[in-house]
Structure 1
Amino acid sequence: MRVLKVFNNNVVLAVDEHDGELVLFGRGLGFKAAPGSPVDPGRVERRFVPGASASADRIAAMVQEIPPQDIELAQRLVDLARTRLGQRISDHVLLPLADHLSFALRRAAQGVAEIEYPLRWEVQYLYPAEVAVAREMLALVTQERGVPLPDVETVPLALHLVNAQFDADMSATAQMTADLHRILDIIREEYGVRIDETSMEVARFVTHLRYLFLREQQGRMLTETPAELHAALRSARPREYTSAGRIGTLLAEQYGWAVSTDEILYLALHVSRLVDAAAAADRQEGATR
């Protein structure tokens, strides 16, 4: 590894053997170092990878501001999340998570009132797996620090976990969460049905929408589906196909995307499943009265 930039005596920006940039932390690592000089691997205590959510300069500033013990605890939380949600949890989440955790611990120690997060109910319904892991993370924080953080902290922790799976920043994830809720509202309004946010159909729909966001951000397309399939679904479920078009229009207006006809097809299939499940639940409730 070679030094690209020295931030201070303990933090440097380096490049590895694959020309990948890394922010490195180690006591005295930057002392008398100069751009182009080799990095002593034995002195590197932590490595951070710049990404979409944080530049190298921002990472360096955070490393200097956050107490090392809070970074260590955040790493344990990331490791816990990986055991529950899989290896898709990105390393990029470590510092933003540590920054939030450090701030939350200071607030709790000072007895500052809870923060009311605006997406609390949407997050709990749209990301149940991440919320469940966030509650485990809070329990680990209490165990390690003896400081019980309020349950409302599951909201930002869950959003950090969503970020970690899509390498997005918090504002983008918050906007995506609000739009997912609006999309479910479109279906409620269109069909006058009650949607069980805890159902498997909603979980699958939200998962599809999350990956739609990721595909659009990365400029990737679904595999092209036969025209006959589009025609068959449009004929069999015209109302649901129209609803999918409304969802596509919402996303196009919100993000400037050109949502493909293949995406509309799969959205229509999910809308059909949601509507069918809601109708079946209503019939069952009516039969038991």
Structure 2
Amino acid sequence: MKVIKVFNNNVVLVSDEKHEQAILFGKGIGFKKQPGDEISKGKNVQTFIKNIKDPEWLNSLSNLLENVPVEYLAVSKNIIKHAEKDLSTTFNQFLVISLADHIYFAVKRSSKQDVSSLVSVKEVYPLEYAEAEKSVKRINTAFNVKLPPGEAGLIAIHFVENEMSPINENQKLGEDYVSLHLSKILQIIISDLGYPEQPATLERLTVHLRFLITQIQSDNKYISDASPDNKKILESFLKQFPKLRTTLKKVQDYFYQEMNYKLNNSERLYLVIHLKQVENSSEDE
């Protein structure tokens, strides 16, 4: 096999004699390697993905590996393998990248307070949620952490958003409606806060908004947010970052005026956390 690209010391893109490309990873496999070098697959080297043909996917992987250790990619792949089997579905190839990115940041913030619960996920997508709970246990074991329960809802959203063959076709709602509102809300946010330098930042926001808009369109009833803590945390956050209050209000007004939906405190809190990530990424440019 020949080296096509070295992502880092532990991950390389190779091509075999049939010109089929694959990602290999193993400790030190890419050390001092250059494109065109011959490489052999030792017993401690794993094939990550075979028959790669999408340059956009490779570019996304390259961006991920600049910031995220390969171990998170391996855990992401393992979670997807179990989820596809348990849910009898297949996922978009980009899920392994977006999920690895999510896991990395979830582990980094694991010691912080859980403010990421989306109460409707379990009721609307019970199968994906149950599988996501298993995924959280796998992450906890792999990285010796204890993720907050809210992470199961976030991982379940990743599953729902990337299913190529939805478990329930009735859950596959009007994409035109979702895309229209998603585009307009993103325009409001980017106009206020700038375009984030890191693609993953915008991707996480997009996943959250798409899920929320889909739930509104499907007319599923939300469990009211009765926790006083969310309101207190939200107000504290907005006092610390007052610039975000204006953007949050514009987005709130859009949901109310265009979709006749009033965001509760939990939804506002989670949204403003995303807005802060966008603002931070935009300022890094």
Is 1:11 matched with 2:45?
Answer: no
Quick check: 1:26–1:45 contact (8 Å CA) kept in 2? Answer: yes
Q: Displacement of 1:158 after TM fit?
A: 0.8
TM norm structure 2 = 0.50
Q: C-alpha offsets along residues 154-189 of structure 1, whole Å, 9 cap, x if unaligned?
A: 12211222244239x65554444233223223xxxx
User: What secondary structure sits across from 1:55 in the alignment?
Assistant: helix
2:115 aligned counterpart, secondary structure: coil
Residue 62 of structure 1 aligns with which residue?
64
- 3-state SS, counterpart of residue 3 of structure 1: strand
- Conservation of the 8 A alpha-carbon contact between 1:82 and 1:89: yes
User: Which of the numbers 141, 144, 147 marks the counterpart of 2:145?
Assistant: 147
Query: Cα 1:15–1:87, aligned 2, differ >3 Å: closer, same or farther?
Result: farther
Q: Return the alpha-carbon distance in structure 2 between the equivalents of residues 166 and 53 of structure 1.
A: 20
SS in 2 for 1:166: coil
CA 1:53 to 1:161, structure 2 compared with 1: closer, same or farther past 3 Å? farther
Listed as ranges, the matches of 1:121-270 within 5 Å are: 121-143=119-141, 147-166=145-164, 170=204, 173-185=207-219
- CA separation of 1:11 and 1:17: change in aligned 2, threshold 3 A: same
Q: Which residue of 2 aligns with 1:214?
A: none
Seen in structure 2, the aligned counterparts of structure 1 residues 184 and 57 have a Cα distance that, compared at 3 Å, is: closer
Residues 88-118 of structure 1: per-residue CA shift (max 9 Å, x gap)? 145543343233223222222xx3222336x
TM-score (norm 1): 0.50
Bigger radius of gyration among the two: 1
Residue 47 of structure 1 is matched in structure 2 by 48
Find the aligned partners of 2:153 and 2:3 in 1 and give their Cα distance.
Answer: 38
Q: CA RMSD in A?
A: 3.8
Write the deviation string for residues 73-97 of structure 1: whole angstroms up to 9, x where unpaired.
Answer: 4344233313311251455433432
Shift of residue 130, structure 1, vs aligned partner: 0.8
CA distance in 2, matches of 1:55, 1:91: 8
Question: CA 1:55–1:106 in 2, change beyond 3 Å: closer, same or farther?
Answer: same
Structure 2: runs of 5 or more not aligned: 166-202, 223-257, 259-285
Alignment correspondent of 1:27: 27
Deviation of residue 16 (structure 1)? Answer: 4.7
Contact 1:124/1:155 (<8 A) preserved:
yes
Deviations 1:19-62 (A, max 9, x none): 55444323333344333344323374342476889632431343
Q: Is the 8 A contact 2:13 2:24 kept in 1?
A: yes
Partner of 1:101 in structure 2? 103
CA distance in 1, matches of 2:63, 2:210: 28
Post-superposition CA distance 1:263-287 (Å, at most 9, x none): xxxxxxxxxxxxxxxxxxxxxxxxx
The 8 Å contact of residues 53 and 92 in structure 1, kept in 2 or not, is answered as no
Give the length in aligned residue pairs: 184
SS at match of 1:41: coil
Aligned partner letter, 2:133: R
Question: Are 1:2 and 2:2 matched, yes or no?
Answer: yes
What residue number does 1:283 align with? Answer: none
Aligned mates of 1:94, 1:48 — CA distance in 2: 10
Query: Residue 25 of structure 2 contacts residue 48 of structure 2 at CA under 8 Å; is this kept in 1?
Result: yes
Match of 1:236 in 2: none
How far apart, in 2, do the equivalents of 1:44 and 1:91 lie?
22
C-alpha separation in 1, matches of 2:113 and 2:54: 32
